[in-house]
Amino acid sequence: MKDQIKLKRMQLPFVEEVVQYCKSLGFWGFCGVDVLFDSMGCGYLVDINPRVTGSCPALCALKILSKKHNYQVGLFRRSGDINYYGGSVDLISQVEEFNEANDGKMTIVIHSMYEPIEGAHTRVNIGVYGNDMDECKSVLNRFAEPKRDETE
């Protein structure tokens, strides 16, 4: 959160051009714009997604939780094969328990989930929000793991 104004200034020239172009085509609504910067600070427009992007709900959640608890950081894992190794009922229970115990200090948000094999694992899009990046990462690693090797 502390770098949002700086990041906005860096990306604004690229975004303004995309907005003007999209408007000229009659497009309106959400649009994700990916800009990469090299070590010299030169920016490169690499992707335009004229839709609500996958990270949009996580960014909105951070904004809301920042207003409520003054959180400054958030980490989000989505897509691919990110799993909670347990069933969805257990996942919800664990998240509720964590959120109650850490009210105002850290918050876990399950953005979406799918349990392909009942009780075995649950695919998740999940975010952890708070004020300490290392703590958020540690919690996220407990609830959102990559696919395990089948031999484990």
Mean confidence (pLDDT) of the chain: 89
Tell me how far apart the alpha carbons of residues 49 and 17 are, in angstroms, rounded to a whole number. Answer: 14
Q: pLDDT tens across 92-144, in order? A: 999 999 999 999 999 999 999 999 888 889 999 999 999 999 999 999 999 99
**Alpha-carbon torsion, ordered 102, 69, 3, 126, to 10 deg:** 50
Q: pLDDT tens across 81-97, in order? A: 889 999 999 999 999 99
Q: Is pLDDT of 1 > 80?
A: no
- What pLDDT score was predicted for residue 152? 47
- The number of C-alpha atoms within 13 Å of 109 and in the hemisphere containing its C-beta is 20
Both tokens of residue 41? 């600070």
Both tokens of residue 69? 């608890």
Both tokens of residue 84? 């909670």
DSSP states of 94-151 as a string? Answer: HHHHHHHHTTTT-EEEEEEEEEEETTTEEEEEEEEEES-HHHHHHHHHHH-EEPPPTT
- What pLDDT score was predicted for residue 150? 60
Residue 61's H or E segment, with its range, is: helix 56-69
Q: Is the full-model pTM beyond 0.85?
A: no
Tell which residue, 55, 76, 72, has the closest CA to residue 63: 72
Give the Å distances, CA to CA, from 13 to 1, 20, 49.
20, 11, 17
